[in-house]
Amino acid sequence: MNTPLIEFKNITKRFGEQTVLDQVNLQIYEGEVTTIIGLSGSGKSVLLKHIIGLLKPDEGTILFRGEPINDMKKTELAEAMSKISYMFQSNALFGSMTVYENIALPLLENTAMKKNEIHDRVMARIEQTELTEAAQKYPSELSGGMQKRAALARALITDPQVVLFDEPTTGQDPVRKNAILSMIAQYQKKFNFTAVMVSHEIPDVYFISNRILALYDQSIVFQGTPEELSNFDHPFNDEVIRSLEGLQKELTGLYSRRQFKVLHRSQLQSRKSDEGYCVVVFDLSDMNSIVSAIGYDRAQETIHSMGKYIDKHFDAIGGFSTRRKINEFVTVLPFSDIAETESIVKDFMEDFQKSGMSDIWGEAQKNDPQMRCVDFSVKAGMAEGRPVAEIDSIVKLAKAHQKEIGRLRCAVKE
């Protein structure tokens, strides 16, 4: 593997008698979204503050592109740190400055750019983060989500290579939580920075993370992909993940991936090997254009609504569902064949188009009458499997058969 962008070697940090980090080893790679998970008060933020130099380790070495930062000259260290931005849990926006002034501050203080250059750059970021109308407002006049966006715009104004996010979704409702995570994922792709995030929003962070680092008992006990974490046999899984991950996800009300697997196993164990069952994979197409048309919050409400309707239609007939990716849902119908499944999916689409969408648009337009409408499609793929087969292979087969089953239009309700 490549040289890590940031590497911790045997980092120990104590506050008085209390050891917060004990011999921590970790690697963060360039261009990825890395999420540090752990219980509250386990030292995640302390770990993050070491990366940007707000805290110094008592023992151990931090390497930036393979070079120990302790051996760097002052100018080299300043150069390395200038590529890192930090988004605080509390946003840390200056209350006496407008959103515009907050975002412009790093450029005004650290560069020799002319005022009109700074203005152009700040306005570009403000537009990208959908804050145009809030530019001259003070942070206290903004909603929690807008404050997060302002903090993100400030963190991105210097075009950093690394952005550290300290619990970016704290205190937000499920829709807004997922909207912020989706925003981070989209900006990470757009601006191509390396994202390091501290969170305990399990499993929501799995959808946007390339790598997960698990902080447990003052040490990093796991480094790997979200999929690898589900097979990780360690007390961390029992004590931390299960306590943070509810049986049902907050946003969609569907089962968590782990619970889905358990249900799948227990439901199909008692079935004969020649008895079939069906899997449906739904896909909300082109999330990016949905987000750009209706915003992050509304896009998450669409997902929320989709989850609600999936549950309503399939739970009643013994089905169980989960959300696998940001816009992908999987439903298992243990007692249905493919013909029956097709008919249920058709009913689902009609109901979702008729009521689900009008609920979303009606609510959205009540808040913002000028809101732009967007058409988007829902794809579904079905596959029949046998209880002996692995769920992943049937999901794969269903995905291969995916086709558009409905195109949804806004402004259904006048």
Partner 1 sequence: MIALDDYKQNRTGDTQRFRGTVSKPFALIGRNVIRWINSIGAATIFLVLALLKTFHPKQFQKVIQQIYYIGARSTTIIMLVSLFTGMVLGLQSYHALVQFGAEGSLGTLVSLSLIRELGPVLTAIMITARAGSAITAEIGVQRISEQIDALETMRIDPFRYLVTPRITASIVSFPLLTTVFDLIGIIGGYVSAVALMGLNAGVYSHSIRSYVDMEDLTNGFVKSLVFAVIVATVCCYQGYFVHMREDSKGAKAVGLATTSAVVISCVLILVADYVVTSLLMV
**Contacts with partner 1 in 131-160 (CB under 8 A)?**
154, 158
Q: Could you write out the DSSP letters of every residue in 226-246?
A: HHHHHT--SHHIIIIIHHHS-
Of the two residues 88 and 232, which places its CB atom closer to partner 1 in the complex? 88
Among 52, 72, 135, 221, binds partner 1 (CB under 8 A): 52
- Is residue 253 involved in binding partner 1 (CB under 8 A)? no
Q: Per this entry, what is the length of the chain?
A: 414
Q: Could you write out the DSSP letters of every residue in 322-359?
A: EEEETTEEEEEETT--HHHHHHHHHHHHHHIIIIIHHH
Of the two residues 82 and 132, which places its CB atom closer to partner 1 in the complex? 82
- Is residue 94 involved in binding partner 1 (CB under 8 A)? yes
3-state secondary structure of 281: strand
With CB under 8 A as the rule, give the number of residues binding partner 1: 22
Of the two residues 83 and 261, which places its CB atom closer to partner 1 in the complex? 83
- Is residue 109 involved in binding partner 1 (CB under 8 A)? yes
Among 39, 72, 88, 267, binds partner 1 (CB under 8 A): 88
- Is residue 54 involved in binding partner 1 (CB under 8 A)? yes
**Contacts with partner 1 in 310-339 (CB under 8 A)?**
none
Q: Is the dihedral of CA 280, 285, 288, 291 positive or negative?
A: negative
- Is residue 276 involved in binding partner 1 (CB under 8 A)? no
Among 7, 44, 47, 86, binds partner 1 (CB under 8 A): 86
- Is residue 115 involved in binding partner 1 (CB under 8 A)? no
Question: In 3D, which of 65, 52, 69, 55 has the Cα closest to residue 164?
Answer: 52
- Is residue 110 involved in binding partner 1 (CB under 8 A)? yes
Q: Could you write out the DSSP letters of every residue in 5-56?
A: SEEEEEEEEEETTEEEEEEEEEEE-TT-EEEEE--TTSSHHHHHHHHHTSS-
Contacts 24+ apart (CB under 8 A), 108-111: 110/82, 110/158
**Contacts with partner 1 in 157-216 (CB under 8 A)?**
158
Q: Which range binds partner 1 by CB under 8 A, 84-92, 289-297, 345-353, 368-376? A: 84-92
Residue numbers of the site for partner 1 (CB under 8 A)? 52-54, 78, 81-82, 84-86, 88, 90, 92-95, 105-106, 108-110, 154, 158
